[in-house]
Amino acid sequence: MQNDPELNPKYLGKISSDFVKVSETLKEASYAIKKQGFSEYPVFAMCQIDQPIGQMLVEKKQAENEWHYFASMMEEFIQRGLIAEKKAFKENYKDPDEFCCLFVIDEQFTNFVFVPYPID
């Protein structure tokens, strides 16, 4: 199946249901990345296999989740050539206090997805 820029709602549900299990950890990591001055644009790679982007944050099955989550940032994606237009990325980036920037890596879909953090 080819990569489709439009995310199937059923597939988004699959991503969201896994994300909610680790959302608090990702939100804390996002805050730390910004607070420590690493980047204003945290990105979390989400995949079911090991991959080279970012640092492992949450392993599959660690919190009853089905995906691995890797902490990264916009700057790494630029260095790796995965983001060509820094300005366009910044313009589309959503408030990291409200949304998690996921880079979903899967056979069905590979792209950036912004998922809102659950409201406490």
User: Reading across the β-sheet that carries 55-58, which strands appear in turn?
Assistant: 55-58, 68-73, 42-47, 99-105, 110-116
Q: What is the pTM of this model?
A: 0.90
User: Is residue 2 over pLDDT 60?
Assistant: no
Q: Where along the chain do its domains lie? A: 9-116
What mean pLDDT is predicted for residues 30-40?
Answer: 97
pLDDT digits (tens, 9 = 90+) for 39-90: 999 999 999 988 889 999 999 999 999 999 999 999 999 999 999 889 999 9
Residue type for 102, please? L
Give the pLDDT confidence score for residue 14 in this predicted structure: 85
Residues facing residue 102 across a β-bridge: 44, 113
